[in-house]
Amino acid sequence: MTSRTSIDQNTTSAGRTWMMFAGIILIAINLRAAITSVGPLIGIIRDDTGISNTLAGMLTTLPLLAFALLSPMAPAMAKKWGLETTLLLSMVVLTFGIGIRSISSPYTLLIGTAFLGMAIAVGNVLLPSLVKRDFPRHIGLMTGTYSASMNLLAAIASGISVPLATQAGLGWQGSLLIWGSLSVLALIVWIIQRRSSGRTAEVSSAATKHQSVLRSPLAWYITLFMGLQSFTFYVNISWLPEILRSQGMDYSAAGWMLSILQFVSLPFSFIIPVLAGRNPNQRMLVTISALSMLTGYAGLFSGLTSLNLLWVMLVGISGGANFSLSLMFFTLRTKSAQEAAALSGMAQSLGYLLAAVGPLLIGFLHDATGGWKVPLAVLSAIVVVLFIFGFGAAKPGYLSVPNETKPEV
């Protein structure tokens, strides 16, 4: 009887583990697709709705601002309602936002975009905490799997959004709405997960309950590493095709280069977290990644256009590595799920504010100088700073938050 009970309990436990794994992956694939599907359609959306270029640009800027504003609130929401419930609600809001955005109106476009940005912000912050809580022995593997899944769907969404709108006859509304099917699927799995679990899944109270990660030097290294890698990512997404076109490449080829940049990052989004999880020191990974991106930007600066494919691949490889490393630091440098959520909230809030500046700054430098040499030189300097903060974040250890001291009487 005891043996049978033990087997039944093990089977139930394994089932819950796989359900949690599926839930994490389904949330991950929803964290970028709804955003990257918009960029290629902006021209079509602008012409159909009559919005200005400024408002069209807000379709990609609004989610970043939502990330920055809501990320610090996500840990408190998880503490109040539990991780599972908070993530479930985020999928409800994401589905609502995707639906509202697909209505052909300038107002609903912006409102829906704001809602989906807020929902994605919650998922961005809480997934590392969930991985640390439920998969403490497989943090690298889990982070690599959900990071690669996120980037894969982002690349697919970017590549097929125009064909869905034009060749499939869905229009831009249907092309954007179709990604709501992924959030509905995630919603269903999380409803089942929450009912079968029976857990409130709170972010456990730790000794750092009343301490702020803002006072940890290591937290600032991680935050600035996160922000600067996001800075380079959104600059690449926004301006890489224009940089390549200025060197004689046509629209189609430049677009394919952007797709290559995203796809080449996928294996490194998976491999780097696995390697990072096996070694307490990630400085070698940070160094190699920085050298890869610096070489790529230097190559684009040099004008050796025959090697543009190599330069783009080097930048893409580094982008995938840096993104997954930033996610790993949230879990490797914290001792509890609560700390991981707090650090993730801080890093993603300030980091995405920094990222939102990237495309604007590089665009301004291009307009001011009439070329791409100065912007590429600035990007190379950003990579050096990225390396400095990444090197500090990669040092073995945990967050050390100074204790508050009372003044002597």
Query: Measured between alpha carbons, how far is 177 from 156 in angstroms, rounded to an integer?
Result: 15
Q: Which pLDDT band holds residue 179 (cuts at 50, 70, 90)?
A: very high
Query: Measured between alpha carbons, how far is 222 from 347 in angstroms, rounded to an integer?
Result: 7
Query: Measured between alpha carbons, how far is 325 from 98 in angstroms, rounded to an integer?
Result: 29
End-to-end CA distance of the chain: 66
pLDDT averaged over the chain? Answer: 86
For residue 5, pLDDT beyond 70 = no
Query: Measured between alpha carbons, how far is 111 from 31 in angstroms, rounded to an integer?
Result: 18
For residue 172, pLDDT beyond 70 = yes
Q: What is the pLDDT of residue 158?
A: 80
CB 98 within 8 A of CB 177: yes
Q: What is the pLDDT of residue 407?
A: 41
Convert the pLDDT of each residue in 371-400 to its tens digit: 999 999 999 999 999 999 999 999 999 887
Task: Choose the weakest-confidence range: 104-108, 122-126, 178-182, 292-296.
Answer: 104-108
Q: What is the pLDDT of residue 323?
A: 93
Q: Which pLDDT band holds residue 226 (cuts at 50, 70, 90)?
A: very high
Query: Measured between alpha carbons, how far is 406 from 409 in angstroms, rounded to an integer?
Result: 9
Q: Checking phi first, is residue 370 left (phi over 0); if not, alpha (psi -120 to 50) or beta?
A: left
Task: Choose the weakest-confidence range: 140-154, 195-209, 292-306.
Answer: 195-209
Q: Which pLDDT band holds residue 408 (cuts at 50, 70, 90)?
A: very low
Query: Measured between alpha carbons, how far is 409 from 397 in angstroms, rounded to an integer?
Result: 35
**Domain segments of the chain as ranges:** 12-203, 213-398
Query: Read out DSSP for 66-123?
Result: HHHHHGGGHHHHHHHH-HHHHHHHHHHHHHHHHHHHTSSSHHHHHHHHHHHHHHHHHH
Q: Which pLDDT band holds residue 359 (cuts at 50, 70, 90)?
A: confident
Q: What is the pLDDT of residue 196?
A: 66
Q: Which two tokens stand for residue 285?
A: 């990974």
CB 234 within 8 A of CB 359: yes
Query: Measured between alpha carbons, how far is 260 from 257 in angstroms, rounded to an integer?
Result: 5
The DSSP symbol for 402 reads: P
The residue that leads in pLDDT, 391 or 161, is 391
For residue 199, pLDDT beyond 80 = no
Query: Measured between alpha carbons, how far is 133 from 152 in angstroms, rounded to an integer?
Result: 25
Convert the pLDDT of each residue in 267-279 to its tens digit: 999 999 999 999 8
Q: What is the pLDDT of residue 49?
A: 87
Query: Measured between alpha carbons, how far is 305 from 309 in angstroms, rounded to an integer?
Result: 8
Q: Which residues contact 19 (CB under 8 A, 6 or more apart)?
A: 189, 192, 193, 196
For the question of whether the overall pTM of this predicted structure is more than 0.75, the answer is yes
Q: What is the pLDDT of residue 300?
A: 95
Tell me, yes or no, if the two domains 12-203 and 213-398 fold the same way.
Answer: yes
Q: Which pLDDT band holds residue 104 (cuts at 50, 70, 90)?
A: confident
For residue 211, pLDDT beyond 80 = no
CB 377 within 8 A of CB 301: yes
Q: What is the pLDDT of residue 275?
A: 94
Q: What is the pLDDT of residue 210?
A: 36
The residue that leads in pLDDT, 327 or 104, is 327
Query: Measured between alpha carbons, how far is 300 from 286 in angstroms, rounded to an integer?
Result: 21
In this structure, the dihedral spanned by the alpha carbons of residues 190, 102, 238 and 61, taken in order and rounded to 10 degrees, is -80
Domain 213-398, CATH number (from 2.60.40.2550, 1.20.1250.20, 1.10.260.40, 3.40.1520.20): 1.20.1250.20
Convert the pLDDT of each residue in 279-298 to its tens digit: 899 999 999 999 999 999 99
The residue that leads in pLDDT, 202 or 303, is 303
Average pLDDT for residues 119-130, to the nearest whole number?
93
In this structure, the dihedral spanned by the alpha carbons of residues 135, 136, 138 and 142, taken in order and rounded to 10 degrees, is 50
Q: Which residues contact 397 (CB under 8 A, 6 or more apart)?
A: 218, 333
pLDDT exceeding 70 applies to what percent of the chain?
A: 90
CB 178 within 8 A of CB 156: no
Closest of 32, 15, 21 to residue 320, by C-alpha? 32
The residue that leads in pLDDT, 212 or 351, is 351
Q: What is the pLDDT of residue 3?
A: 57
Q: What is the pLDDT of residue 333?
A: 93
Task: Choose the weakest-confidence range: 6-15, 55-64, 222-231.
Answer: 6-15
Domain 12-203, CATH number (from 3.40.50.1820, 2.60.15.10, 1.20.1250.20, 3.90.79.10): 1.20.1250.20
